[in-house]
Amino acid sequence: MVNYPTWKKVLVALICFIGLAYAVPNFVDEDLLSGVPDGLPNQQVNLGLDLRGGSHLLIEVEVQKVIDEYLESLVDTARAELREARIRYRSLGKSANNMGVNIPQEADQDRALELLRQLDLEARVSQSGDRLTIELPEPIMAARRAAAVQQSIEIIRRRIDETGVREPTIQQQGQNRIILQMPGVEDPQRVKDLIGKTANLSFQMVDVDNPLQEALAGRVPPGSEVLQMAPNARGPGQPDFMLVRKRVDVSGQNLVDSQPSFDGRTNQPVVTFRFDTAGARRFGEVSTNNVGRPFAIVLDDEIISAPVIQEPILGGTGQISGRFSVQETSDLALLLRAGALPAPISFLEERTVGPGMGADAVAAGEFASVVGLVAVLIFMAIAYGRFGLYADIALLMNVILILGALSVLQATLTLPGIAGIVLTIGMAVDANVLIFERIREEARAGRTPISAIDAGYSRAFTTIIDANVTTLIAAILLYAFGSGPVRGFAVTLSIGIITSMFTAIMLTRLFVVTWLRSKRPDSLPV
């Protein structure tokens, strides 16, 4: 024990040096760090949103809607095709994950089966009695749901980028959730408004052949639907609802650009848009055939504008006018540019911390840490004299190592995380207390200083391991099941337990041995 091998000394010194090197950037001005090349320590501790201020949102993508919509479109196509093929059918409809139809006449069944097969080659068609069912195999449904989540992340990212929020983090969590973190955003309301909209845009003709009153009374003609008018789309004398053809002539997918602008004549804020080639051709055809009739611009099942086609629109550009404010037109243009979400989303959780609060928390946390640290340092020095000072150096080193480890790992430091560090400061000396108390005891039992120290370290060692492993177990489970700031606590606690075992056992031992070899004392100063 008195022989502390050189390689061990080098190792201890090396670990301390590396820890120090990675901790240093935290005490340096940020501008200075940008000059430090990568590979060298140039990262500061990554502060959580609760400390730097910002907004955390947990979003759920309603992926079942993707499947629902898919099945709905299957039903629509199947109906049209069956009619065209003059096949008699009953009970055409969808359930949660399949669609089915009854074909009463046996002669038609084979034709119907073939027809359904052609609807989607990936789907599985089966027959039992006169009931034909078509469904997607689970792996394909899962792939579509996953794709919907991926696409949602992409669209949300595009929308947020347009708002000018800096450094947002957008991550998938679990199967159908998205975590959105926006440092520095103290009022996420506008962002929530923007990303909460599905922004499904479509151009549909207004059904002028059937009376709206009938439809409102519940007799909606097939192929049409009743849609609500957006409040600021409704001109004077216009109704709250309109009867609109279900058929989507051109959709938002055909848009290539969209900008907020002002109408040349009325000077009202409007949104201008441009179709891609296919969209422009389609829109040209439809408008040519329907001059004098109104069409509806529908956003998320709400009519935002219902102008009458004055003349064929062949250029592939157009504008949406209504009683919009400038803000509304710029938001709408943004949404149209970024594209529609594949499925609706909802907000499950929000945690927003203002910048003042975060700064206060950092200041209070730092102050409490420093005071706690100094108090423990003083106490240890009083309690164990020279050895206490050794333990103090180890404790300071421990704090440095924690900071270094946090910086290297880029783990997120949260307010509970700071609490974890303070707690570690209190508990880190435990290993040294165990060793020193044991040394005292052994010395009292009549051992020589060297023998007492030797016995103290070796006997306390297993105890230290056992005691720390149990705490580490708790910390790891906390990390696994905790969320948000609490995880930060688990991180600092775990790092602190590991570094404290290193500093308390290896580092103080180095000091004690060095002192022992140079002084060869007759009695121990503990």
Partner 1 sequence: MKALNLVPHDVDISFISKRVLFFAFSAFLIIASIGMVLTKGLNFGIDFKGGILIEVRTEGPADIGAMRDQLSALGLGEVSLQEFGLPTDVLIRIQRQDGDGDAQNRAVELVQKTMGTEVEYRRTEFVGPKVSQELLQDGILAVGLAMAAILVYIWFRFEWQFGVGAIIALMHDIIVTIGVFALLGLEFNLSTVAAVLTIAGYSINDTVVVFDRVREKLRKYKTMDLPELLNFAINRTLSRTLMTSVTTLIALASLFFLGGEVIRDFSFAMIFGVVIGTYSSICVAVPILLYLGLDERARGNLDGTNEDGPQSQADRP
Q: In terms of CB distance, is 58 or 125 closer to partner 1?
A: 58
In the region spanning residues 44 to 63, those forming contacts with partner 1, defined by CB under 8 A, are: 58, 60
- Interface with partner 1 includes 430 (CB under 8 A)? yes
- Pick the stretch among 18-26, 128-136, 144-152, 459-467 that binds partner 1 (CB under 8 A): 459-467
Q: In terms of CB distance, is 198 or 272 closer to partner 1?
A: 198
Cα–Cα distances in Å, from 485 out to 47, 257, 414, 471, 478? 11, 41, 5, 19, 11
In order, the DSSP letters of 41-70 are S----EE-HHHH-EEEEEEEE-THHHHHHH
Residue type, 171: Q
Least distance between partner 1 and beta carbon 473 (Å): 5
Least distance between partner 1 and beta carbon 414 (Å): 10
Dihedral over Cα of 250, 252, 257, 261: its sign: positive
- Pick the stretch among 4-12, 220-228, 295-303, 342-350 that binds partner 1 (CB under 8 A): 342-350
- Interface with partner 1 includes 353 (CB under 8 A)? yes
For residues 66 and 489, what is the distance between their CA atoms, to the nearest angstrom? Answer: 38
- Interface with partner 1 includes 458 (CB under 8 A)? yes
In the region spanning residues 464 to 503, those forming contacts with partner 1, defined by CB under 8 A, are: 466-475, 477-478, 480-486, 489-490, 493
Q: Which two tokens stand for residue 19?
A: 């820890």
- Interface with partner 1 includes 76 (CB under 8 A)? no
Cα–Cα distances in Å, from 496 out to 424, 489, 490? 6, 10, 10
Least distance between partner 1 and beta carbon 467 (Å): 4
Least distance between partner 1 and beta carbon 357 (Å): 4
Question: What backbone phi and psi angles, to 5 degrees, belong to 116?
Answer: -65, -35
Which helix (H) or strand (E) element contains residue 501? helix 485-501
Q: In terms of CB distance, is 131 or 444 closer to partner 1?
A: 444
For residues 195 and 160, what is the distance between their CA atoms, to the nearest angstrom? Answer: 8
Beta strands in 104-254 (DSSP E): 124-128, 131-135, 169-173, 177-183, 201-205, 224-229, 241-245, 250-251
Number of residues that bind partner 1 (CB under 8 A): 85
- Contact track, partner 1, 2-41, x by CB under 8 A: ----------------------------------------
- Interface with partner 1 includes 463 (CB under 8 A)? yes
For residues 16 and 74, what is the distance between their CA atoms, to the nearest angstrom? Answer: 66
Closest by Cα among 478, 490, 473, 499 to 402: 499
Q: Which residue(s) pair with 228 in the sheet?
A: 241, 302
In the region spanning residues 397 to 426, those forming contacts with partner 1, defined by CB under 8 A, are: 415-416, 418-419, 422-423, 425-426
C-alpha dihedral (185, 186, 187, 191), degrees to nearest 10: 20
Q: In terms of CB distance, is 83 or 444 closer to partner 1?
A: 444
- Pick the stretch among 240-248, 306-314, 332-340, 348-356 that binds partner 1 (CB under 8 A): 348-356
Q: Which two tokens stand for residue 475?
A: 């910390």
- Contact track, partner 1, 193-212, x by CB under 8 A: ---x----------------
Least distance between partner 1 and beta carbon 202 (Å): 23
- Interface with partner 1 includes 225 (CB under 8 A)? no
Least distance between partner 1 and beta carbon 155 (Å): 18
